[in-house]
Amino acid sequence: MNAKFSPSLMCMDLTRFREQIEAMNDKAAFYHVDIMDGSYVKNITLSPFFIENLRKITDVPIDVHLMVNHPEDIIPMCLEAGADIISFHPETANNKIFRLLMQIKEAGKRCGVVLNPATPAAAIMEYAHLLDKVTVMSVDPGFAGQQFIPQTLDKIRQLIRLREQHGWRYLTEIDGSCNAATFGQIAASGVEVFIVGTSGLFSLADDMNDAWARMEANFSQQIAAA
């Protein structure tokens, strides 16, 4: 399986920002940047300023996940800061989804949406042809370290079936509790991109090269055992 890994940078050691990014630059398929506003979710994390500084030290695509009530306010700042992919929750933009997706695409960047555990796959039907990526939350949004919700894997399978039936081209991605305990069952869903955070990557070793090697070993062992 040719899995793609996207480190969740809200989980990294920010006191070692350059060191850890430079260690991952030749390994990561994407860098996942969570922006939370303290309103849509009760947490505040990274920012367009973080994207701007990340852009200075990497060519890896920067994938922004907006957990905010007004994505229209943040999207222009993310574009200006150097984001490559911007995704938001459809619940926050029901009356402007097409406009926001086209704004991102017209800037020459990729766009996506993020589906909460309780949001069905069918929610994307009207605009799926515009999407470059669909992210499925396998935990409720807002905080790291939550318990994995296995029912979300059926949603990934549905999204892949819909993509094949309609000729759409979005990547499927999973966000939440991707680690040695869940890699096998997640991979069996067919998902292409794994977002890895504290339990899946950053807590595995102090040295980032060692942590990445252990993550890949955990993934391979889980695939072999499945």
Residue 168's pLDDT is 98
How buried is 164 (Cβ within 10 angstroms: 0-12 exposed, 13-18 middle, 19+ buried)?
A: exposed
**Domain limits of the chain?**
4-225
User: Known binder of ligand: residue 70?
Assistant: no
DSSP 22-37: HHHTTT-S-EEEEEEB
User: Known binder of ligand: residue 197?
Assistant: yes
User: Known binder of ligand: residue 144?
Assistant: yes
**pTM summary value:** 0.95
Q: Among 34, 37, 63, 132, which one carries the catalytic annotation?
A: 34
**Superfamily the domain 4-225 falls into:** Aldolase class I (3.20.20.70)
Q: Among 37, 63, 84, 175, which one carries the catalytic annotation?
A: 175
pLDDT by residue for the chain (226 residues), tens only, comes to: 589 999 999 999 999 999 999 999 999 999 999 999 988 888 888 999 999 999 999 999 999 999 999 999 999 999 999 999 999 999 999 899 999 999 999 999 999 999 999 999 999 999 999 999 999 999 887 666 668 999 999 999 999 999 999 999 999 999 988 999 999 999 999 999 999 999 999 999 999 999 999 999 999 999 888 6
User: Known binder of ligand: residue 198?
Assistant: yes
Q: Is 34 a catalytic residue?
A: yes
